Amino acid sequence: MPTIKVRLNGPYLVDVGEDVKLIDWNGKEYAIASRPFALCRCGGSTNKPFCDRTHSKIGFAAAEAAVPDSGDKPAGQ
Ligand code: FES
């Protein structure tokens, strides 16, 4: 099943197989070096839209969870 996982205080981990394209606002396709791939959620990556792990250096702390008040527990647990 295709999955996009919101990582705790990190990127969106996109695991959707080979059939997905990542395109920009002009419809141009990004080259995806490996799969699954991670998309930056913190805004700090120098390789946007991909995550370059800058989130861990800047102390990115996301507040949202699928279930409010679930703390650092992943959705569904
Ligand atoms: S989420 Fe990893 S660099 Fe932004």
DSSP 8-state class, residue 17:
G
For 3-7, which contacts have Cβ atoms below 8 Å and span 24 or more sequence positions?
Answer: 6/41, 6/62, 6/64, 6/66, 7/38, 7/41
Distance 33 CA to ligand 1 centre (A): 16
Each residue's pLDDT tens digit, 23-60: 999 999 999 999 999 999 999 999 999 999 999 999 99
- In this prediction, residue 64 carries a pLDDT of 72
- In this prediction, residue 75 carries a pLDDT of 52
Tell me the one-letter amino acid at 44: G
Pocket test residue of 5, 7, 37, 40 for ligand 1, highest count of atoms within 8 A of CB = 40
Question: Is the pTM of the predicted complex or chain greater than 0.85?
Answer: no
Q: What is the mean pLDDT of the chain?
A: 88
Mean pLDDT of 6-35: 93
